Amino acid sequence: MTTAERPVGEIGENGSICDIWDPLNPHTMYDFYTRARAEQPVFHNPRLGFWVVTRYADIDEIENLTGGDTVSANGALNLIRPPCPAALEVIVEAGIKVDNSIVDEDPPDHAPKRNALRERLHGKIVQTYEPQIRELVTRKLDGIVARGEADLVRDYVHEIPAWVIFQLMGVPEADMEMVREYAKGNGKFGFGIPTDAEQVEDAQGIAKYWEYAKRHVDARLDDPGEGIMSHYIQRLREFEDGRLFSVQDCYTVMLQLLFAGHETTTNSAGNAFRALLEHRDQWDAVCADPSLIPAAVDECLRFATPVPHWRRTTLKPLTVGDVVIPAGETVMIALASGNHDEHVFPHGDQLDIHRANARKHLAFGRGRHRCLGEQLALLELKVILEELTRRLPHVQLVPDQEWIYNPNVSHRGVEHVLVTWDPSTNPDPADRP
């Protein structure tokens, strides 16, 4: 029996719980972390070479230390599995040179870059996008409401976050499907353990993705126009006579935002659909009272965390509990585990949309690297659930469907949520066949 096949209750050969840690397996992840928090809350995994931290308080402390002289954000995007020679050749030939930027950058350069993006992503600005988001959500539901069956991920939500972030980044609507296709293998390539053949295929898509990002940025260098990327270029050129401006950095930011802006929100929505529909009383409650939806969104983000793991690097020896992690080590903070920590969230393995402290979840991170797109994601998820529960409150999960997740460590979302309903009973007569 391989390590990945061992049941959660079985310890490996050396007696350490780390032997049965399988961060790619969403079906055993939460049971494992319940045990790890109690028995071995900080452990080293020799397979990946990471120190894994599982308790909420420890994760919170590490996040708040990140960017100081003890913990660095650098390395957050390092490939889990280094590229094989054939994939590396694709990367080199494409000229892909991803700089540290925003996600994995430390002070002093991190703050002004982050602030430049935040000027277009803070709460008041984001709220102005609601009519556009609701119109798109309505259009997607119009296409399925009379069918009586759908995949809520592929048929409903899949295009919405991509459309929103691509619009904000200034990507023409005609290019959206092409760019999304380029990004498809990015998560597995960066955060998974793909085979050589998969690495080569994903690298080819990323090469096209990189080329598109370059073309998009290059077109805005002399003629900025509208959109977040244009604003970012302008603000960095203005900052201290352009000290921080770098075309290479702009390529990297473009690449990162296009991927993060749609992948994580799509995953969050799919996870929320599954969680709420599997807990029918919770689904019925939000259908009956839409004012519960913002709280339900936070609870779903806590319960089924779309970014279950993230990485940091120690600059100095770091004491976590009774474990000393040496300098220069990769620390994997298990956000999904922290979000189920019973010391913070009593009965954390239960979904409860009335949970008073659900907003304390770690799904968006903490500290100076807290997710820039948080307000946008919350707005999208709110509108997606408001319209779905209003027009199709009677949807039912297809029984015994297989739950498939994208195979990577850091981006976790169910790929399909199959549902049925009787369209003749749709609440709005205009939605009936």
Per residue in 219-248, pLDDT (tens digit) is 998 877 788 999 999 999 998 888 889 999
- In 3-state terms the chain splits into helix, strand, coil percentages (rounded to 5) of 55, 10, 40
**What is the Cα–Cα distance from 55 to 34, expressed in whole angstroms?**
10
Query: Tell me: the pLDDT tens digits for 254-289?
Result: 888 888 888 899 999 999 999 999 999 999 999 999
DSSP state of 156: I
DSSP state of 230: H
Q: Please tell me whether residue 414 adopts helix, strand or coil conformation.
A: strand
Q: What are the angstrom distances between the C-alpha of 113 and each of 108, 236, 301?
A: 10, 7, 27
pLDDT of residue 174: 82
Q: What is the residue extent of each domain of the chain?
A: 85-305+346-431
Tokens standing for 227?
A: 């959109």
Mean pLDDT of 157-181: 83
Sign of CA dihedral 175, 178, 184, 190: negative
309-312 contacts, C-beta under 8 A, 24 or more apart: 309/23, 309/333, 309/334, 309/335, 309/336, 309/409, 309/410, 310/76, 310/335, 310/365, 310/410, 311/50, 311/75, 311/76, 311/78, 311/410, 312/62, 312/66, 312/71, 312/72, 312/73, 312/75, 312/76
Q: Which amino acid is at 55?
A: R
Does residue 295 surpass a pLDDT of 80? yes
Going through 371-433 in order, the beta strands assigned E by DSSP cover 396-397, 418-420
**What is the Cα–Cα distance from 364 to 226, expressed in whole angstroms?**
27
Burial of 122-149, coded b for 16+ CB within 10 Å and e otherwise, reads eeeebeebeeebbebbeebbeebbeeee
Query: Tell me: the pLDDT tens digits for 364-385?
Result: 999 999 999 999 999 999 999 9
Q: Please tell me whether residue 396 adopts helix, strand or coil conformation.
A: strand
Query: Tell me: the pLDDT tens digits for 64-88?
Result: 999 999 999 998 988 899 999 999 9
Tokens standing for 204?
A: 């080819």
Q: Which residues contact 212 (CB under 8 A, 6 or more apart)?
A: 175, 178, 179, 182
CB atoms within 10 A of CB 321: 12
pLDDT of residue 2: 26
Asked whether the beta carbons of 179 and 198 are under 8 A apart, the reply is no
Side-chain-side CA neighbours of 330 within 13 Å: the count stands at 19
Query: Tell me: the pLDDT tens digits for 12-61?
Result: 444 577 778 888 888 899 999 999 999 999 999 988 899 999 999 999 99
362, burial (CB in 10 Å: exposed 0-12, middle 13-18, buried 19+)? buried
363, 388, 261: which is closest to 303 by C-alpha? 363
**What is the Cα–Cα distance from 157 to 84, expressed in whole angstroms?**
34
**What is the Cα–Cα distance from 248 to 280, expressed in whole angstroms?**
49
Q: Which amino acid is at 3?
A: T
Structurally, at CATH architecture level, domain 85-305+346-431 sits in Orthogonal Bundle (1.10)
Q: Which residues contact 400 (CB under 8 A, 6 or more apart)?
A: none
pLDDT of residue 225: 78
315, burial (CB in 10 Å: exposed 0-12, middle 13-18, buried 19+)? middle
Going through 166-220 in order, the beta strands assigned E by DSSP cover none
273, 287, 301: which is closest to 155 by C-alpha? 273
| pTM over cut 0.75 | yes
Does residue 181 surpass a pLDDT of 60? yes
Give one DSSP letter per residue of 98-131, joined into a string: PPP-GGG--TTTHHHHHHHHHTTTSHHHHHTTHH
